[in-house]
Amino acid sequence: MIPGSFSYHRPSSVQEAVGLLAKLGDDGRALAGGHSLIPMMKLRLAEPAHLVDLAGIADLKGIRSDGNDIVIGAMTTQHDVIGSDHLGAKIPLLRETSLQIADPQVRYVGTLGGNVANGDPGNDMPAVMLCLGATYHVTGKGGERRVPAREFYQGAYFTALEAGDVLTAVRIPVPAAGHGAAYEKLKRKIGDYATAAAAVVLTMSGGKVATCSIGLTNVAETPLWAEEASKILTGSALDAATVKKAVAAAEAITAPASDARGPAHYRTKMAGVMLTRALARAKAKARG
Ligand SMILES: Cc1cc2nc3c(=O)[nH]c(=O)nc-3n(C[C@H](O)[C@H](O)[C@H](O)COP(=O)(O)OP(=O)(O)OC[C@H]3O[C@@H](n4cnc5c(N)ncnc54)[C@H](O)[C@@H]3O)c2cc1C
């Protein structure tokens, strides 16, 4: 289908974009890579009268270190994330996850900021951001604020972003050297959204789990941070009985929809299978 008609704006600074979006209110929408928004517009599920394209704002692009954090500009594409050796060395989970998003064509234009701002529970990066303890930089009418990813997602397509807000960057603390991480995603075919997926970051010490964090994708209206499951695993040697208990705790917080990817019960169980696999792979990669 063809989208409804809209006016196109191309600001060259964050301030200009925020000013435009604040003035336009519900009639305006930020445009990043367009690979979630344009399909929605073609289906007439979104009909913004104005699109504010963020592509002309140089400040929104790039990957830099800031102390022990890595800060990634919102308009950095998934392709850029995959191509960054710096990120690959410091937070390899980001490259691993990006490679499981859609296909190369989508990744060339789809942005990290768009993926995390979209609020679609099917997006892969949000659960990874919960797992990594990321913080989002948001600029709005009242200036800049920082929102922890773990507090950002409030419902399907409903986030902490308010009218006029632009998500400018994602700040991620670099996990400890020697950590292990994995993203396991079950999909029906290449390029599909997850039936269920699990992200794990852990550190090991003396053969036992010293720290552990788990995120789950597409098994609720929002991405999930499986805090209780992580607590169960901490201090264990990831033996089968403890993993089973943690998987049960993770499954218990899921509430997936029954849809073309399978009935709710199946998707919950697949989240457990993905978590089991991610834990095993993360452990194999971890030193200590
Ligand atoms: C065929 C296909 C398969 C796909 N498969 C997957 C998949 O497996 N996994 C996955 O995670 N994604 C998948 N996607 C989605 C893709 O990753 C999108 O690129 C991503 O979800 C949105 O990023 P974008 O830059 O395209 O944002 P856009 O589509 O431009 O924007 C998405 C939403 O976020 C808002 N927004 C964007 N940037 C900002 C910002 N900086 N500040 C405030 N609001 C902002 C927009 O207003 C809009 O509401 C797929 C897309 C397609 C077309």
What does residue 162 show for φ and ψ, rounded to 5 degrees? -115, 165
* CA 60 from centre of chain: 17
Span 27-64, pLDDT tens digits: 999 999 999 999 999 999 999 999 999 999 999 999 99
Nearest ligand 1 atom to alpha carbon 157 = 49
Residue 98 in contact with ligand 1 by CB distance below 6 A:
no
Question: What is the model's pLDDT at position 170?
Answer: 98
CA distance 261 to 189: 11
The two beta strands, 180-186 and 63-66, are: unpaired
Nearest CA to ligand 1 atom 23: 114
pLDDT band at 288 (very low <50, low <70, confident <90, very high): confident
Q: How many Cβ atoms are within 10 Å of 153's Cβ, its own excluded?
A: 24
Half-sphere CA count of 103, side-chain side, radius 13 A: 5
Span 81-98, pLDDT tens digits: 999 999 999 999 999 999
Half-sphere CA count of 258, side-chain side, radius 13 A: 4
Return all residues near 273 (Cβ < 8 A) that are at least 6 apart: 186, 196
Measure Cα distances from 50 to 4, 16, 24, 25, 46 in Å: 11, 14, 8, 10, 11
Measure Cα distances from 248 to 14, 24, 159, 162, 274 in Å: 44, 46, 28, 36, 12
The alpha carbon of 119 and the centre of ligand 1 are apart by a number of angstroms equal to: 9
Nearest CA to ligand 1 atom 11: 123
Residue 166 in contact with ligand 1 by CB distance below 6 A:
yes
- Whether residue 162 contacts residue 143, with contact meaning beta carbons closer than 8 Å, is answered with no
Across the chain, what does the average pLDDT equal? 97
- Of 8, 26, 35, the residue with max ligand 1 atoms within 8 A of its CB, to mutate for a pocket test, comes to 35
Residue 114 in contact with ligand 1 by CB distance below 6 A:
yes
Nearest CA to ligand 1 atom 41: 167
Question: What is the model's pLDDT at position 191?
Answer: 87
Residue 123 in contact with ligand 1 by CB distance below 6 A:
yes
Span 106-154, pLDDT tens digits: 999 999 999 999 999 999 999 999 999 999 999 999 999 999 999 999 9
Question: What is the model's pLDDT at position 119?
Answer: 96
Span 218-231, pLDDT tens digits: 999 999 999 999 99
CA distance 84 to 179: 19
Give CA torsion, residues 179, 180, 181, 184, to 10 deg. -170
Span 6-19, pLDDT tens digits: 999 999 999 999 99
Residue type, position 118, single letter:
N
Is the pTM here over 0.75, yes or no? yes
Question: What is the model's pLDDT at position 175?
Answer: 98
Span 205-261, pLDDT tens digits: 999 999 999 999 999 999 999 999 999 999 999 999 999 999 999 999 999 999 999
Question: What is the model's pLDDT at position 87?
Answer: 97
Residue 95 in contact with ligand 1 by CB distance below 6 A:
no
Q: Choose among 162, 160, 136, 151: nearest CA to 60.
A: 136
